[in-house]
Structure 1
Amino acid sequence: MKKCLILLVLVLFTFSAFAEAPIYLGEKITLTKVTKMSELLANRAKYQGKKVLVEGLIIDVCAARGCWMALAGDVPFEHLTISVEDGVIIFPMHAKGRTALAEGTFDAYDLNLEETIESLQHKAEEKGEKFDPKSVTKPITEYTIFTTGAVIK
C-alpha cells in the first residue's frame, strides 16, 4: 500500500511538472473585468469600437500565419475572432483547446452574401479544406476583437 501511495505521488508530480505555463502575447492586459461574449453580441452597438476583455476556449487558430484565433463564447455556437495585424502577434497552433484572455477593440461586421462567401472561402483555403460557395445561402456577421494583448492559459 505504501509503495502504491509513493508511486501515485510521483506520477502526480510528474504530470504537474509538465503542465503548460501561460503564454503572454503582445502588450500587457490592463482591463480586469471580463465581458461575456453573449453580452457583446447581444449589445453590439454599446460595445462597438470599445476596448474589452474576453475569455474563452480556443477553438481554432489561423494555420497560415497565426494571425487570428477563434474563441468559443459562453453560449453554445457563439464565437468571435481575435485578430491582429500580420506578424504583430503570432497565435500558436498548439493553443487549440486551451483558454485565452484577450484585450482589444470590439467590432461587428455585417457582411453581404458576396463578402460572406469570400470570407468563408478564405478561411477554408487557410485550413486546406474544400468549400462550396453554393452552400452559403445567407450573409453572416463577423464579430472580431482587434487585440493588443492576450494570455493563453
Structure 2
Amino acid sequence: MRKGLLSIALCLFILPVAMSLAAAGETTYGEGVSSRETVAVSTLLADPDAYVGKVVRVQGPAVGVCEHRGCWINIGADKDGESVRVKVQDGVIVFPPEILGETVIAEGVWTANKLDLETTKAYCGAQAEKTGDKFNPESVTECMTLYQITGTGAVVLERAAAPAAEQSLKG
C-alpha cells in the first residue's frame, strides 16, 4: 500500500516537472498552432489566391514586429527577401520585440485585402517614405492586393529548440 502511494506521489510530482521541461523551449501566443502541415512562405507568395480563406501554418524567422502594439509580425521566407505578415487582433495577442530573429510557427487564415486606387497610392507613398525613395503618386495606375495571415496563434521557439522543431516537421 505504501509503495503504491509513494509511486503515485512520485508520478504526480515528476509528470508536471517533465511537462514543463518539454515546453521550456517555446512560448505560445493566442491559440497556438494545431495544423500539422506547414506551407512554405514562398509557396504562398507564388500563388496567393489559391490559399485565400484557408487556414495556413508557416514557419520562419521573425524579421519584423509591430513596435507600437505588437499586433503583427513578419515571418521570413525560405527565399531571401520574401516575408509574410501575420496580423492579429490588437490586444488579444501581443508579440514582444524580443522575438526578432527567433523561429516562429504561426497559424491563421490567409487573407486578401484589395486596396482601391487611392489607398494603393497612399500605401506606396508610405513605403517609399520608409525607404527614403522619391514617389510620384501618378505613377500608380492599378489597385493592389495585400496578402497576410489573420493570425489565431503562434509558437516562438527558443534558438536551441528551433532545429528540433524543424526536424520534426520533416519527419
Deviation (angstroms), 1:22: 1.4
Matches within 5 A, 1:35-54: 35-54=39-58
Range moving further from structure 2, 31-40 or 101-110:
101-110
Percent identity of the aligned residues? 36
| SS of equivalent residue, structure 1 residue 134 | coil
Write the deviation string for residues 6-51 of structure 1: whole angstroms up to 9, x where unpaired.
Answer: xxxxxxxxxxxxxx83111001311011001111112222210100
Q: Using a 3 Å threshold, how does the CA distance of structure 1 residues 120 and 92 change in structure 2: closer, same or farther? A: farther
1:7 corresponds in structure 2 to none
TM-score, normalising length: structure 1: 0.72
Paired residue secondary structure (2:150) = strand
Partners in 1 of 2:75 and 2:81 — Cα distance? 11
Q: Note the C-alpha offset of 1:81.
A: 0.4
Q: 1:78 to 1:135 in 2, by over 3 A?
A: farther
Residues 67, 55 of structure 1: CA spacing in aligned structure 2 closer, same or farther, 3 A cutoff? same
Q: Is the 8 A contact 1:53 1:104 kept in 2?
A: yes
Partner residue of 1:31? 35
Change (3 A) 1:40 1:134: same
Tell me what 1:146 maps to: 150
AA matched with 1:31:
S
Contact 1:80–1:142 (CA under 8 A) maintained in structure 2: no
Extract unaligned runs of 5+ from structure 1. Answer: 1-19
Q: Secondary structure at the match of 1:40?
A: helix
Contact 2:128 2:135 (C-alpha < 8 Å) held by counterparts: no
C-alpha distance 117-65 of structure 1, shift in aligned 2 (>3 A): farther
* Structure richer in helix, relative to its length: 2
Partner of 1:60: 64
Q: CA RMSD in A?
A: 2.8
Q: CA deviation at 1:143?
A: 2.2
Aligned counterpart, 1:134 = 135
The total of aligned residue pairs comes to 131
Counterpart amino acid of 2:135? K
Shift of 1:152: 0.8
Q: How far apart are the structure 2 equivalents of 1:121 and 1:21?
A: 41
Unmatched 5+ stretches in structure 2: 1-23, 158-171
SS at match of 2:25: coil
Does residue 81 of structure 2 align to residue 77 of structure 1?
yes
Stretch of structure 1 that moved more, 39-48 or 84-93: 39-48
Question: What amino acid sits opposite 1:80 in the alignment?
Answer: V
Taking the aligned partners of 1:23 and 1:32, their CA distance within structure 2 comes to 18
**Cα shift at 1:71:** 0.8
What is the rounded CA distance, in whole Å, between the counterparts of 1:112 and 1:131 in structure 2? Answer: 24
